Every structure is written in C-alpha cells, then in structure tokens.
C-alpha cells in the first residue's frame, strides 16, 4: 500500500515557511544522501518562490560515493542551485555551507543587508546535528511535534549571516510509491504510518539487486539466487534470533533488525536511487496520475446528470 504521512503540524510548518519567505535570501534543503530524490520536497520550489537553493546531501558517510557524485551533478545543473555532500557531525564540511550560501546571494551580506537563510528537510535527516555542528554547541531541537511550528529560531552563524530553522516536514502526497518506502526505510516517516515488514521487504528487494553479497556476509546466508524477498527476510530473522515460541519466524522483529542495520550503515554504504532511476519513477507516477484523471473524467462524463437536491418542487399541473 502506498505510504503517506502528513500530520497537521506539517501543514502549519508549510504555511509558516511560505509566510517567512519574503525575508529569506537562500533556502538550504537538507537531503538524505541515500535517497536524495525521495527526500526532496517536490513542493519546495513553489513554496519558496524559486529562491536560490543549496541542496545539502547529508549522511554522505552512509551513501555510495559514485552515486552521491551523480546526484551532486544533477542538482548543480539546475539554475540558481548549488549542491554539497557532507556528514552533519563534521565541522569543516559543515562550514562550507556559509560561502556556498553567500555565492548564491552575492548582493546580500554586511551588517546592513545580512544574509538570511532558511533550512528545511524531512524529519531525521540530520538538521539538528548540522545546526549543532555549525554553532559548535547543542541547540534546542526544533520540534517535529504538533504545536511547534513557528519559525522563530534565528541562529546567528556570523554577524551578517542568519539561519532560520524549521521543523522536519514532508508533503501532502508522496507521488512516487517507492519514495514512500525509501523515506520509511530512512526513518523519515512516523512509525505508525507504515508496516515494518512491508518496508523491509521493499528495502531488501532494492539492496539485494546490487549488494546481495553484503547481506550474505552480514547474516551468514547461503546463495540468494532463487530465494524470494519474504524467504530472505525470514532467514534474517532466523539468523538473528527473531523466532516466536514454536520456532516460527517473527517477521516484525526480522524487519526491525533489517531496518536498523540499514539505518546505522551496518550493510555498508548504500544509496537507494540514482538520478536517472528517480526521474523514471517520477515520470511513471505522473503518467499513472494522468491516466487516473482521464479515467475519472470519462466516468463523470458517462454519469447521468444529478439534479440538485433540496426541497422537492410540487409538480406543476
Ligand atoms: P533532525 O533534526 O533532522 O530530525 O535529525 P537529527 O539531527 O536528530 O539526526 C537524526 C539521526 O541521524 C541522529 O541519529 C543523528 O546522529 C544521525 N545523523 C545526522 N547526521 C548524520 C550524518 O551525517 N551521518 C550519520 N551517519 N548520521 C547522521 P540518532 O541515532 O537518531 O540519534 P543519536 O544517537 O545520534 O543521538
């Protein structure tokens, strides 16, 4: 089933970002380097009115370097856009954000026209970690909880460089079905919004196609050829003590093990999508949407016209 997660407080965050935009010069979008396309907010350009944008591919230490390079080139090719890859915990790479933002808004800077930068990203992408690194201290986490939606936290990174933090946010409809799975696998989606075994199965199907050897090594498995994804998940459960009384495999536990291992990098550096693949998925989702709309329009056309309901009119004679 497609995964969707857009709780009410994210709607408020979206509104708060739109209201703040007139005072913003550059927008930093923090992406997960393991799923850059899926973790990018498809509504952001519209929401920010096309302001200059810095795409930061965070958690690059968990992603495949060759694919990160492709994603950086993909974003760099866009007008008014720069891209960087980093680990939010590392100070020197994080500080590169400052000159990159300055280059995107060269007319701003100095005490009279300080550079005003807004940072946004999905939940758990590493925004608090990055901000703490930039400030060299622990700052309060901009809550992803309901009620904490105001963009009031102005962080001063230099005398003429202000950073506005925002709570983690997704978007009302995740159009590419795989993106929902990738977001859930990364930890960007609330746990109640998805079924862990289903997400683990989608993750294993993706990872085994290029890195089956790593799964074999990690869980001491035999040959994967001919093994279904379900059987693979069950084997992981069996190897890791995920058994129910009676010896049946606890698929929930097996899924949690697989997801935690992916999230913590225990399978090595893995990127779930390339720019080319992601563009194909997007095009497929757009075509399916167009098809659904055409079918709906055709159905509506065939339906007999409904008369307006209301007080019944007395038949005239
Ligand atoms: P958020 O504010 O965007 O919600 O994310 P936050 O900084 O809380 O980071 C979410 C998780 O991602 C944290 O792990 C954090 O340590 C980890 N993280 C952030 N940036 C990076 C990175 O560049 N590389 C790696 N490998 N991990 C990163 P956690 O286990 O949830 O918390 P903790 O154990 O670190 O406290």
Looking at the fold, whether 106 and 190 belong to one and the same domain comes out as no
Write out 79-102 in H/E/C secondary structure. CCEEEEECCCCCHHHHHCHHHHHH
186 lines ligand 1 (CB under 6 A): no
Q: In terms of residue numbers, what domain contains 181?
A: 177-264
Q: Whose CA is nearest to atom 24 of ligand 1?
A: 59
**CATH of residue 19:** 3.40.50.300
Looking at the fold, whether 13 and 81 belong to one and the same domain comes out as yes
58 lines ligand 1 (CB under 6 A): yes
Q: How many domains does the chain have?
A: 2
- 31-86 pLDDT, tens digit each: 999 999 999 999 999 999 999 999 999 999 999 999 999 999 999 999 999 999 99
Looking at the fold, whether 48 and 155 belong to one and the same domain comes out as yes
Looking at the fold, whether 20 and 89 belong to one and the same domain comes out as yes
Looking at the fold, whether 141 and 207 belong to one and the same domain comes out as no
Confidence of residue 1 (pLDDT cuts 50, 70, 90): confident
Q: Which two tokens stand for residue 82?
A: 């720069």
Looking at the fold, whether 257 and 129 belong to one and the same domain comes out as no
Looking at the fold, whether 29 and 63 belong to one and the same domain comes out as yes
Looking at the fold, whether 160 and 191 belong to one and the same domain comes out as no
Looking at the fold, whether 118 and 220 belong to one and the same domain comes out as no
- Would you state the pLDDT for residue 246? 86
The CA 224 to ligand 1 mean position distance, Å, reads 32
**CATH of residue 189:** 1.10.1580.10
128 lines ligand 1 (CB under 6 A): yes
Domain closes at, from 124, 145, 165:
165
Looking at the fold, whether 140 and 233 belong to one and the same domain comes out as no
More confident residue, 306 or 96: 96
Please check the confidence at residue 306 and state whether its pLDDT lies above 70. Answer: no
Mutate to test the pocket of ligand 1, among 125, 126, 267 (most ligand atoms within 8 A of CB): 126
On whether residue 91 sits in a domain, the answer given is: yes
Distance linking the first and last C-alpha atoms of the chain: 56
On whether residue 80 sits in a domain, the answer given is: yes
- 84-122 pLDDT, tens digit each: 999 999 999 999 999 999 999 999 999 999 999 999 999
Q: Whose CA is nearest to atom 20 of ligand 1?
A: 126
Nearest to 166 by CA among 29, 315, 36: 29
């Amino acid at each position: 089933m497609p995964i969707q997660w857009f709780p009410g407080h994210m709607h408020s965050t979206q509104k708060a970002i739109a209201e703040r935009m007139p005072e913003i010069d550059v927008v930093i979008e923090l992406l997960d380097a393991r799923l850059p396309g899926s973790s990018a907010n498809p509504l952001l350009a519209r929401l920010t009115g096309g302001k200059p944008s810095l795409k930061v591919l965070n958690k690059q230490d968990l992603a495949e370097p060759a694919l990160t390079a492709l994603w950086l080139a993909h974003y760099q090719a866009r007008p008014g856009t720069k891209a960087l890859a980093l680990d939010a915990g590392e100070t020197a790479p994080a500080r590169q954000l400052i000159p990159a933002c300055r280059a995107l808004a060269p007319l701003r800077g100095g005490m009279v026209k300080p550079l005003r930068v807004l940072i946004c990203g999905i939940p758990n992408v590493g925004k608090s970690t990055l901000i703490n690194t930039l400030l060299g201290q622990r700052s309060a986490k901009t809550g992803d909880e309901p009620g904490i939606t105001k963009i009031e936290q102005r962080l001063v990174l230099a005398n003429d460089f202000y950073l506005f933090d925002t709570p983690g946010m997704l978007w009302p409809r995740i159009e590419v079905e795989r993106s929902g799975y990738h977001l859930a696998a990364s930890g960007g989606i609330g746990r109640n919004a998805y079924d862990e075994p289903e997400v683990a199965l989608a993750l294993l199907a993706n990872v085994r196609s290029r890195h089956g050897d790593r799964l074999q090594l990690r869980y001491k498995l035999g040959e994967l050829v001919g093994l279904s994804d379900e059987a693979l998940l069950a084997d992981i459960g069996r190897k890791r003590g995920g058994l129910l009384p009676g010896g049946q495999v606890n698929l929930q536990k097996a899924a949690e093990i697989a997801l935690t291992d992916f999230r913590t990098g225990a399978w090595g550096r893995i990127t779930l999508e390339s720019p080319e693949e992601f563009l194909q998925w997007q095009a497929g989702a757009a075509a399916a949407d167009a098809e659904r709309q055409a079918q709906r329009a055709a159905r509506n056309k065939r339906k007999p016209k409904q008369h307006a309901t209301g007080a019944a009119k007395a038949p005239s004679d």
